[in-house]
Structure 1
Amino acid sequence: MAHLDATPDRIAAAARRVMARCDELARVTATPGSVERVYLSPEHARVNRLVAEWMRELGMRSRQDAAGNQLGRLDRIAGDALVPDEPALVLGSHLDTVLDAGRFDGIVGVLMALEVARLLRAPLGDDRYGVRLPFALEVIAFSDEEGTRFGKALLGSSAVAGIWRDDWWALKDAEGTTLRQAFLEFGLDPARIGEAARRPEQLVGYLEAHIEQGPELDRRGEPLAVVSSIAAARRFQLVVEGEARHAGGTPYDMRRDALLGASEAALAVERICASEHHIIGTVGQLEAFPGAVNVVPGEAHFSLDLRGEFDGERDRVWDRIAREFDGIMGRRHLRWRAREVHSAPAVMCAPLLQDVVREGIVSALPGVSDDPATLFSPAGHDGMSIGAVTDVGMLFLRKPRRDQPPPGRVGLGRGRGTRHPCARRVRPLPRRRPRLRPPPLSSRRLLPNARPHGSRQHPAATRMDSVRTPSSGLPGVLHRRCACGVRLRHRGRPSLSEVSRAGRVVRARRHRPVRAGRPDRQSGGEARPFGRRLGAAQWAGRRAGVIVFQILGVVLGVAAVVYLVFALVRPEKF
């Protein structure tokens, strides 16, 4: 602590500054009302300028590297001079976000690193600052950890680690813009991406503070934790192929429904991963083609994000999932294939840096965290890439409750959710209504031709109230009303509109009306008879129609016979 000017007042001021700047950065968003900043966007440029200004305010040399990361550096002081090109201890995190993100995810790690630099810096005159440490101090605000725009995570830190791949230039965002084109529009030169890479001899180590993004610290009632490792991750895009056929004309035994196969596969992922230790599998995307309401889906696309504490365990579970997929698709006569789009090995935090973080927690919270929790991180972080060139250490902060989605809100990203634009169209599922019970036998009045009703019929279908309403054509039209209030028509069945108004689904008996009739909307409310009780004119019309069709049938039959006889007698005419 000899090098750290950390009085309680300065630490409190630093904490207030971090919180205020988190709010300030949260206002730099592509979507008002939520936090959204993606790679190589105007919002990315704005936050880089803000962070660069805060770095220069501390006396740091600030620059934007060839991948769009924002860097600040305090050189080591030796005597009365700055020593350039010394190996550096790097602090940092990322400034990009997922869609509808929390205001602390990544950002708090960058701002905490700036406050550590503020406490460690030492003036050298002429507005120059450095650090009196055996190494230099750097702060890096990584540009793309989430992979929201182009689907590939850790782009910024991959460039710093020197593991950039040329095939990434062909990645496209949702609007069809390639990564190469986005670089050019942002003002970066794709040909210079190699200049962002750092060599192992240039770095002492990498430390990152990050929100836990899980409930473990909150459950334990502890504010801080040491991170032991960052989970191994693999991501797949999977395709299930079946056969698209008409929904109405295809019986179930002939269907090859790709969507049902993909859905069963998603459930298998949940079942398998839940039975494993520290393995997390997530199906976050599912799309059916051709996507018509009356067509059996012939193809389904879905994603799989698989994470584990160790590479071997993660790969073993993927093999188990693949075997399960084989069985599912075989039973359903489907085909499936998988394309791996991301793979990152597990990164073990360096034991020395774990001890450093642990001692820092104990010294900062004496009596509160004598034995700090040690957790592994299921979420990915920039340290996964940086671990290829230097040692990595991480500090977890308990997730603030105000950064969690409150009830009634939808969080699409990691962090505090805001109300989703479609949330107003989401309604909770109603509770299942209790089964209706028939009224006591003493209260039932059976109609003359009523039969005992079964369990799948309306419980009160035999109890009716007869109400005669005047009608212009008949002395009265009989309407029946069930005990539950549903008006019965059409041979004792309730109309759909009546069932909807009643708010319940009923199954009514098919009672035959005593005097049947129903309003005819086309005749202005006239009663249109149905059933057996028809008037004389209606019966006469029906009989005449039957006679006409009988005569027509006889004529056609005679004509067919004559035609066949003539064909046999005079075949030369045909």
Structure 2
Amino acid sequence: MQEEYLARAERIMGRIEQLAAISEDPAGVTRTFGTPAFVRGRALVQSWLEAAGLATRVDGIGNLRGRLISRNPGAKTLVLASHIDTVVNAGKFDGPLGVLMALDLLENLAAKAISLPFHVKLIAFSDEEGVRFHTTYLGSRVVAGSFDPTVLARADAAGVTLAEALTAMGADASQIPADAIPAADWLGYFEMHIEQGPVLWERQIPVALVTAIAGQRRVELRFRGVAGHAGTVPMDRRQDALCAAAEFILIAEQFALHHDQGLVATVGQLTVRHAASNVIPGEVRCSLDLRSANEAQLADAYEALRTYTAAIATQRNVELEWNLVQQTAPVACDRNLNALLTQAITGAGHEAVGLVSGAGHDAVPISAVAPATMMFIRCFKGISHNPLENVELTDLAAAIEVADRFLVELKRNVELGIKN
């Protein structure tokens, strides 16, 4: 049996490599939402789904959907999903691994002629990372029925709106309202994903169940001072936007370090407008990514940092624009599905470790309409969003066995419910 799981893991790894070869940047893996590289990558995944006998379609936001129909026409639907978009200069596994593992599960069912008492939809979400339009969970929000149509007017750095990008990639935005899966149709949601943290790596454990996902607030900030000559404006008369931004960045770091206990703050973007070595910066834009699994802590940190930043702007005589662009509450995974996943993990001979995910996942919007569970897979040193991202073959084989067992447990659970 172990040889079978290793062979399946090798096949998944081969597909991971083929998909990673499709990139906007030939030197790395970059496949952001709506780009030609993204469309080519999606087409490759679609060819694999169709070869497995799944009926496929691309929905109004560019998600790729495959469907395995149960013999029971009135059955509910289990969704297996993850995303196939990437950050810039990404690793190979974040997102695609979950999609390709889900495909392997369905191929295994077909090969063994195993029928399920529920429908299965395999979804490759089009935009989880939010790199292009700063709108994470675009794909899963459509499926969950929580898509905000006003974001169709949002433009990327090149001035292309989301609506225009959808048209360019062959998606029909008018279909978005009909693409939601009604809450009554859901059986559950199962996502497989690399941990993106060091716990499993350090403890030498191949898989874990996710108990909760941290809440997140993303902010776009703009500091506006007065540009001036670097050699003629006295230091005590400057309205330096970059110095204000720098002070904010360090305060955000120190605030998170001081409070700790799961609170993290990151400034990942910094843009100096009309930057020159001999010009005092007059306008600076930057980002803030604030996360915690504790909603009260997250809200308090957000307000405290906003107050501190306003004080910085006042002291330095610069204008501040603070724009909240995304807000998600912490999410608890479904207790019943996690119990089944725990049985699958222990049944495969592994310790059942529960982890809180600091990273956001498509399970966040889905959890508002359906029971959701996630399985983490050990990755090299916990590294993610980096070309060093890697998964060992033996860990992947172990994860496949657990996923197989989870489907068996879910099948048994549903069949018992039907009988009763």
For the aligned pair, the TM-score class normalised by the smaller chain equals: 0.7 to 0.9
CA contact (8 A) 2:28 2:387 kept: no
1:245 maps to: 228
**Partner residue in 2 for 1:454:** none
| Bigger Cα displacement from structure 2, 26-35 vs 60-69 | 60-69
Q: Does residue 1:310 correspond to 2:294, yes or no?
A: yes
| Conserved? CA contact 1:235–1:343, under 8 Å | yes
Aligned match for 1:197, one of 180, 196, 211: 180
Unaligned runs of 5+ in 1: 1-6, 78-82, 124-128, 405-412, 419-574
Aligned residue for 1:293?
Answer: 277
Give, in whole Å, the separation in 2 of the partners of 1:326 and 1:195: 43
Q: Alpha carbon RMSD of aligned pairs, Å?
A: 1.9
Q: Distance in 2 between matches of 1:249 and 1:321?
A: 33
- Offset, 1:417: 4.8
Secondary structure of 1:76's partner? Answer: coil
Counterpart check, 1:397 vs 2:377: yes
3-state SS in 2 of match to 1:340: strand
Query: In the alignment, which of 357, 365, 370 is matched to residue 341 of structure 2?
Result: 357
Alignment match of 2:135 (pick from 133, 138, 152): 152
1:243/1:394 CA distance change after superposition, 3 Å: same
* Alignment check: 8 A CA contact 2:59 2:175 kept: no
SS class of match (2:105): helix
Partner of 1:416: 387
Runs of 4+ in 1 over 3 A off after TM superposition: none
Partner SS for 1:319:
helix
Q: Where does structure 2 lack aligned partners over 5 or more consecutive residues?
A: 390-420
Of 152, 157, 163, the match for 1:174: 157
User: Which has more helix, going by share of residues?
Assistant: 2
Paired letter, 1:17: R
The aligned runs of 1:116-135 (5 Å cut-off) are 116-121=105-110, 131-135=114-118
Residue 10 of structure 1, CA deviation? 2.8
The Cα shift of 1:300 comes to 1.8
More contact order relative to length (CA 8 Å, sep ≥ 6): 2
Q: Does residue 103 of structure 1 match 2:92?
A: yes
Deviation at 1:85, TM superposition (A): 5.4
Name the counterpart of 2:191: 208
Query: What's 2:404 paired with?
Result: none
Task: Say yes or no: does 1:163 pair with 2:146.
Answer: yes
SS of aligned partner of 1:111: helix
Larger Rg: 1 or 2? 1
Q: Which residue of 2 aligns with 1:59?
A: 53
How many positions carry a matched residue from both structures? 388
Q: Per-residue deviation at 1:309?
A: 0.6
User: 1:333/1:274 Cα in 2 relative to 1: closer, same or farther (>3 Å)?
Assistant: same
Contact 2:30 2:88 (8 Å CA) reproduced: yes
Aligned mate of 1:45, from 39, 54, 73:
39
With structure 2 as the length reference, what TM-score do the two structures score? 0.87
- Distance (whole Å) between structure 1 residues aligned to residue 49 and residue 319 of structure 2: 55
* Cα distance in 2 between the residues matched to 1:389 and 1:415: 32
Percent of aligned pairs with the same residue? 37
In structure 1, distance between residues paired with 2:35 and 2:92: 18
- Cα displacement (A) at 1:122: 6.7
SS of the equivalent of 1:253 reads helix
Q: Which letter does structure 1 place at the counterpart of 2:282?
A: G
Kept in 1, the 8 Å contact 2:99–2:123? The answer is yes
Give the C-alpha shift of residue 375 in structure 1.
Answer: 1.1
Match of 2:25 in 1: 31
What's the offset of the Cα at 1:41?
2.2
Residue 121 of structure 1 aligns to a residue whose secondary structure is helix
AA in 2 matched with 1:414: H
Contact 1:242-1:256 within 8 A present in 2 as well: yes
Shift of 1:72: 1.5
Contact 1:75/1:86 (8 A) holds in 2: no
Question: What is the match of residue 361 of structure 2?
Answer: 381
> What are the Cα deviations for residues 294-345 of structure 1, in whole angstroms up to 9, with x where unaligned?
2222222111111111222111101111222233233323332201111112
